[in-house]
Structure 1
Amino acid sequence: MSMSRSLHACERLSVPALRQLLRDTDTLLFDCDGVVWRGADALPGAAATLNALLRTPGKRVFFLTNNSSATRAGHADKLRRLGVRLPGGGDDDDDDPQRSVYGTAHCAPLFLLLQRQQEQQQEEKQRPYKVYLIGSEAMASALEEAGIPFVGGPGPEVDLGWPPEKPELDPDVRAVLLGFDRHFSYAKMVRAVAYLRDPACAFVATNTDTCLPLEGDRVIPGTGSLLAALECASQRKAAIVGKPSEFMFECVLRAEKVARERCLMVGDRLDTDILMGTQCGLPTLLVLTGVSTLAEAQACRDSNDHERQKLAPTYVIDSIADLLPAIDEL
């Protein structure tokens, strides 16, 4: 990109500066919760801005969401309901509107398959492979689509009593996968911890978001809250699929013809969206319609702690609607 700035400058941009940034960008990567929508409602101006970008020649738009409670199709449907006119919809698979969406429900099976492939290269004899799933129907659907057998899954776990009975374990389980689960429970933790006592059992989680922003300024616990409990109970750290891990961006690079040096990451959270962009070497644009604040971003920029500095964005705007005047003049 020709705009020469520190990746952590936390710079407020004028319309002319935004226009130049967009001229230097071919691919825009948008978070969803707190950027495009909040709960069930679109954020003001989001649909108009995204539609203007989607109409602009030479611009590509992808949505990278840590939300594991919906499939790619579910996220695409929500974007359309909120007025975003995604490309595609024809008979050609390359024209599928779902291809604009990279969510953790979709990327988690890709992560597991890659991990399994690496394990198989080291095994003299291939062993059966299953996953113990703590997560949503969307995650179960994505595992099925990828051909990965699993036990557990959406819905309540059978109560193990007190003190809890020793759970019956499937000997073929080689990984525990945790995502957002409205039925997360002590019984599920007991079973997961039992599997994770085997150091050969992989521990994978979709994301670390501790909270989710909803409409009306409500905030509810996110997957990161569940993950903290399970990491504490198992005394193990999970491998993370979603942001701030680089894996989700690598999924885009593998599947789409995009130039890394002409990508821009747009998000509302310093510890996921912005940090992922930083770790991938991308310029980042923080919007103030979600979780993180300008004061928090500036504190990270001015910190003497190198790890905190990584959380500071390159640029800051109030909302993605601020992009619209710059797009109109491209």
Structure 2
Amino acid sequence: MAATYGFKACRKIRGAQIRGLLEAKEFFLFDCDGVLWHGEKAVAGAAQVVNSLMRQGKNVVFVTNNSTRPRDKYVHKFYRLGFTAVALEHIFSSSYCSALYLRDVAKLRGQVFVVGCDGLRDELREAGIPCVEEADEPDATIYDCALAADVKAVLVGHDDKLTFLKLAKASCYLKDPNCLFLATDNDPWHPLSSGRILPGSGSLMAALEVASGRKATVIGKPNRYMFECISSQFPGMDPAQCLMVGDRLETDMLFGSNCGLDTMLTLTGVSQMEEAHQYENSEEYQSLVPDYVVDTIADLLSAFE
């Protein structure tokens, strides 16, 4: 039996422990879906926690793999759900970070073919990244449709209007080895309130990886680039002073681990305590184990009483 010395032991914390943790940290990174809200309903107490942290002078940012809306629309959603102090510069979505990557890292010269929602295209255009405009006839096929001549990147995100033609076009563009292949995130699925699930960007990315024989560069969590975007805009940000709060072990906890951050799992979303315990004694999966666990973000309210 392997020794467990040094392995994480995910543990629920309460009261004074939470207070001590919040006092020790200066930066708080929150996932959104499943942590702060479910759809159009805020998690009870979430707005009070975030607003209280900001009033105390803590740095609070929001890191979401949801690429369906631009940041300005996120600001409106935050305000609508009671998070009244959230501004544009607090929000780091996978669509925004993808735009920064294309502009500042890849220094793209050409167009991007987007498999994704209008919100993703809006974020790209805001950063000055031109996107291929879809103008196919309703009965067009890959045999007779037009292909743009200057496509230098294919970017895959969540797309609720996905068609076979979009996948076929993207596959054609990716035959060029100089065409970048990016994905906003690799989330496989998302839960719906009805108990059904919604295929995520990762499922579309996987289809294109098979079709093209290539691997996509993933921008969002759990990869480090999103944290690099944040730290570039908050000079002096120390990973040791950060706490990542999320609801998904394979995304949020792994992201925190990859970036050297302490992690907190809240049980109001995808992952539950049983899954965390399964990874607890595994050396291979230690990066998925949270440092702390709370039932809900509302448990943090005790620190402000």
Aligned to 1:135: 116
Structure-1 separation of matches of 2:191 and 2:60: 23
Aligned to 1:280: 259
1:101-140 equivalent positions in 2, closer than 5 A: 101-117=91-107, 128-140=109-121
Structure-2 separation of matches of 1:158 and 1:239: 31
Q: 1:194 aligns to what SS in structure 2?
A: helix
Aligned to 2:170: 192
Alignment of 1:246 with 2:239, yes or no, is no
Aligned to 2:160: 182
Q: Give the letter for the 1:170 counterpart.
A: A
Structure-2 separation of matches of 1:262 and 1:168: 51
- More divergent stretch after superposition (188-197 vs 7-16): 7-16
Contact 2:14–2:299 (8 Å) recurs in 1: no
Q: Deviations over 1:232-291 (max 9, x none)?
A: 222211101110011111111001233322010000001111111000010000001100
Alignment of 1:49 with 2:70, yes or no, is no
Aligned to 1:323: 300
Structure-2 separation of matches of 1:181 and 1:76: 22
Structure-1 separation of matches of 2:264 and 2:136: 39
Q: 1:170 aligns to what SS in structure 2?
A: coil
Aligned to 1:219: 197
Mind listing any 5+ residue stretches in structure 1 that lack a counterpart?
A: 88-96, 120-127
TM-score between the two structures when normalised by the length of structure 2: 0.92
Aligned to 2:12: 12
Q: 1:284 aligns to what SS in structure 2?
A: strand
Q: Give the letter for the 2:18 counterpart.
A: L
Structure-2 separation of matches of 1:173 and 1:110: 18
Aligned to 1:40: 40
Of residues 237, 241, 244 in structure 2, which corresponds to 1:265?
244
Structure-1 separation of matches of 2:199 and 2:190: 6
Structure-1 separation of matches of 2:52 and 2:196: 29
Alignment of 1:201 with 2:168, yes or no, is no
Alignment of 1:146 with 2:127, yes or no, is yes
Mind listing any 5+ residue stretches in structure 2 that lack a counterpart?
A: none
Change (3 A) 1:156 1:23: farther
Q: Deviations over 1:183-212 (max 9, x none)?
A: 111110100000111111110010111122
Alignment of 1:100 with 2:90, yes or no, is yes
- More divergent stretch after superposition (270-279 vs 204-213): 204-213
Aligned sequence identity (%): 42
Q: Give the letter for the 2:97 counterpart.
A: C
Aligned residues: 300
Contact 2:7–2:281 (8 Å) recurs in 1: no
Alignment of 1:296 with 2:236, yes or no, is no
Alignment of 1:234 with 2:208, yes or no, is no
TM-score between the two structures when normalised by the length of structure 1: 0.85
Question: 1:218: how far off?
Answer: 4.5
Contact 1:108–1:241 (8 Å) recurs in 2: yes
Alignment of 1:66 with 2:65, yes or no, is yes
**Over aligned residue pairs, what C-alpha RMSD do you find?**
2.1
Contact 2:71–2:123 (8 Å) recurs in 1: no
Q: 2:29 aligns to what SS in structure 1?
A: strand
Aligned to 1:94: none
Contact 1:32–1:65 (8 Å) recurs in 2: yes
Contact 1:33–1:213 (8 Å) recurs in 2: no
